[in-house]
Structure 1
């Protein structure tokens, strides 16, 4: 528990900065193409760690040469795991699909709305995680957790609040496309979080192997859409993709360590405090409207998901 918590907090900071970078530096790119390029850069950053820390012999890779063919090594690793336990393939595929859908929906949400508006709504992920755990894994809700769901839901209300009628935020959330996309993204992220917990705890996939498998799986899911609408990367933007890939590699590594060491119901709320980082950056640097109200929404989201974790 003590080991995992600092990694979860670190992941929250990294992902909060990443959300801000996406809004500020990558407008004009299609969500699928942007995700594929950033994930490819992240895999390039992280794959040497996987190769250096994974016993290829135990996985039955024989005389493969990871230095000469790192991409081939990753494919071989995936095939070897599939041969050991087909359930791993299903979990990796399902988690990758959920993550891809969640990220694309979130990119569309921040493209159409303010970062400080979208992020508090999107980061109520544990509000969806807990009911899914009840239905799929037999989790029992405590009164405090039920209250946490109410508080997290209130965050959505506050994020939509503008001076006027008390019912206006509800109407706004129902009619607002960014809010709808953010909530749908949060539901997909909840499925992704459940998949991570199963992969890293029940199936015990090594964390340094899980990171490139997940990033590669997400890229494969979105590759057809990216090919249909290929992004035109300028020389000026190329370093941004390299830097964003480094952020994703670091964030995914910290997230993986946190989910491997902590219960999912604790790791997810802590990591989703990234909402505060994104809201502060959006309000202070980008000067987005209603900053104070949305900061309250972010704080409510954090309080709510923390109560859910209790």
Structure 2
């Protein structure tokens, strides 16, 4: 297997477990507080990797960094922060097995962005993939009744709206990662802390305003989540540094299958069979996009 594909698969598993853990163990926390605390622990866990890279001269690769580097990093950080917060709001309002298939159609947005911004061509098979990914949203919202009912339900559903907006922002983030790691050649060991710290700084003012009275009892949970995020960001970053975003993103977003399976089996969420079909369709669609 191509190393980039292997890292993409590993990232999908890590992030799928992480999505389930957020719903299971962190309900009730403000989204910004949750993001800041978890990212702080993730940076701490990743610090040895960063320090080793710096000692090996990784910083020298940024000696020619200019406005383009700053702009790409800033855009990617802001898109990532907004997308993650919106996703947390979505799973707080709805079942993870409902939100995940909708949110993980990220590659359906990635490919058009790459076409418009980076000049990538859209093949007929990829157009089919976009349609299949859109069908996944339909299936996730289907219960019974008329054929247009799922669209009406999604239009009225706050979790669905938040999940779709989050997916679009995650797509901007994915393309930003690809540009930062391939076109701008920012080293992996420096990109991960840059992204994590950037998101932390962006969300810190809101997190301070919304902070709960006492976090000390849940610090072990935050530490565990931070370790998962550090691993997830590392594997994701390596994947985006080796293969195009339109290839890595579909594979990484198969995390929806992991989240749906865990949510349906362990949490007993409703409409599990319908939503697993939606997750499979979402993965099939984004896989066609990557071909």
Establish whether residue 193 from structure 1 lines up as the match of residue 165 from structure 2. no
Give 1:208's match in structure 2, choosing from 171, 189, 199.
189
3-state DSSP of counterpart to 1:54: helix
Aligned equivalents of 1:82, 1:114: Cα separation in 2: 46
Aligned residue for 2:88?
A: 107
The match for 1:63 is: none
CA distance in 1, matches of 2:209, 2:283: 38
Gaps of 5+ in 1: 61-79
Give TM-score, length-normalised by structure 2. 0.97
What are the equivalent positions in structure 2 for 1:1-310 lying under 5 Å apart?
Answer: 2-55=2-55, 59=59, 81=62, 84-310=65-291
- Contact 1:123–1:301 (Cα < 8 Å) also in 2: yes
Q: 1:141 to 1:257 in 2, by over 3 A?
A: same
Query: By percentage of residues, which structure has more helix?
Result: 2
- Larger displacement relative to structure 2 (84-93 or 166-175): 84-93
Deviations 1:36-57 (A, max 9, x none): 0000000000011110122465
Aligned CA RMSD, in angstroms, stands at 1.5
TM-score, structure 1 normalization: 0.91
1:13 and 1:57 map into 2 onto residues whose CA distance is 32
Q: Quick check: 2:257–2:276 contact (8 Å CA) kept in 1?
A: yes
Cα displacement (A) at 1:139: 1.6
Task: Give ranges in structure 2 of 5+ residues lacking alignment.
Answer: none
Find the structure with the greater CA-based Rg: 1
> Post-superposition shift, 1:58?
6.5
Give the Cα separation in 2 of the matches to 1:58 and 1:125. 31
Distance 2:51 2:10 in 1: 24
What SS does the corresponding residue of 1:244 show, helix, strand or coil?
Answer: helix
Question: CA separation in 1, counterparts of 2:153 and 2:59?
Answer: 53
Verify the 8 A CA contact 1:34 1:231 in the aligned structure 2: no
The 2-side partners of 1:180 and 1:204 are apart by 35
